Structure 1
Amino acid sequence: MSESFRVSRAPIVAIVDDDEAVRDALCDLLVVLDFPCRAFPGAEEFMTEFIPGKFDCLITDVTMPGRSGLELCQHLSKLGSSMPVIFITADASPSTRLRAASCGAHAYLMKPVDGDELLGHLQSALGLRVLPDARTWRDHLDD
């Protein structure tokens, strides 16, 4: 009788935001939760490293110089990517939220992001049932 073994790895999260402080804070939070992450200052930089399956989730801002987060999401969708996208933004416009939903966004969170809410959406996006206590997220978001 043969057994099949699935080799698993920690999910890798990509962060795309033109604000360096936001990128660093999000990456620090992910590291605390033992998630490898890779931060990019813009959509173009992310796309230079994008290979289907390399990243398990994308966290991005909506409004950035060059290609916006919405345009990035639409581009990934056209490429056939099923990678979940979580938007973190200050843009509360219903039309922007609708555009994000139409490109398949997993979540659309307002800044300042609530740590528990982000953790819940990340958990859901990655198909995980248990992650460390959300207080670690909140502690670092307040820094």
Structure 2
Amino acid sequence: MSGSRAKTVAIIDDDRNLRLAVQDLLETEGIVGEVYESAEDFISREGYRTADCVLSDLRMPGMSGLELLKVLRAQGHQQPVLIMTSYADAEAETAALKGGALEFLSKPLNSNRLISSIRRL
């Protein structure tokens, strides 16, 4: 993610405190964080139009992060997607990566790994 304008990361998680903490972390690194409380919120507010990268929780009420990834790809949106979860297991990680996610991150998030992953994109 290089260029002159600040990059935008959509942060999608049903945990408000986590959304805001990640947003603050990204902004200290010069990355714009836009927060969404659900995958449906992200879609209805057309967050995919401004997001250079999507950071989504795996398990949320309603649409999951994997379902969101499928919808984005089916609609032709190709921005990088990182999936995060408190429920990490090999099956979920395999499904996320096979579905097109570029990273599978365990919560609590390692801030250095998160920033590094976003910068690599």
Length-normalised TM-score, structure 1: 0.78
List gaps (5 residues or longer) in structure 2.
none
Residue 53 of structure 1, CA deviation: 4.5
Superposition RMSD in Å: 1.5
Structure with a larger share of its residues in strand: 2
Q: Is the 8 A contact 1:70 1:103 kept in 2?
A: yes
1:85 equivalent in structure 2:
81
Letter matched to residue 52 of structure 2: D
List gaps (5 residues or longer) in structure 1.
1-6, 126-143
Distance 2:115 2:4 in 1: 21
For 1:5-84, list aligned pairs within 5 A.
8-50=4-46, 53-84=49-80
Q: Is the 8 A contact 1:14 1:38 kept in 2?
A: yes
Length-normalised TM-score, structure 2: 0.91
Q: Is the 8 A contact 2:14 2:61 kept in 1?
A: yes
Bigger Cα Rg: 1
Runs of 4+ in 1 over 6 A off after TM superposition: none
Distance 1:92 1:51 in 2: 26
